[in-house]
């Protein structure tokens, strides 16, 4: 392959990756558990941005249940973020077509 073609391809990939990073900043999803009494919001970088608890969920006699509900809501939020990323990034990531590079794996998607 021509070295100039490789350089051009690398510049295109860099531009596409910058677009992906910008798009990820706009992703925000909320997961819930316990019928909505625990809600966790997460951004496209998989950082938890908010935890909302219905007062009904806060029973000092059953802290382990609340902990389990928070973990379940965080997992739900993570799945929702992954799905949103797939929907937003799918066409863009397919256009990159980098042999041997699995961008889905890099973004935590399967």
At 12, list the tokens: 């295109």
Q: Which pLDDT tens digit goes with each residue over 26-74?
A: 899 999 999 999 999 999 989 999 999 999 999 999 999 999 999 999 9
pLDDT-derived band at 110, boundaries 50, 70, 90: very low
Percent share of the chain, pLDDT over 90: 49
- Domains observed in the chain: 3-106 (3.30.1310.10)
Is 50 in contact with 29 (CB distance < 8 Å)? Answer: no
pTM metric for this prediction: 0.69
| Mean pLDDT along residues 90-107 | 56
Residue 96, pLDDT > 70, answer no
At 84, list the tokens: 């949103």
């Amino acid at each position: 392959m021509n070295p100039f073609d490789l350089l051009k391809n690398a510049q295109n990939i860099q531009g596409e990756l910058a677009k992906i990073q910008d798009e990820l900043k706009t992703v925000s999803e909320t997961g819930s558990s316990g019928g909505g009494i625990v809600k966790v919001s997460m951004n496209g970088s998989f950082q938890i941005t908010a935890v909302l608890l219905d007062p009904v969920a806060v029973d000092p006699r059953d802290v382990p249940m609340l902990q389990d509900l928070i973990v379940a809501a965080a997992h739900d939020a993570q799945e929702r973020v992954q799905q949103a990323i797939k929907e937003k990034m799918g066409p863009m990531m397919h256009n990159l077509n980098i042999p041997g590079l699995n961008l889905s794996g890099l973004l935590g998607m399967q």
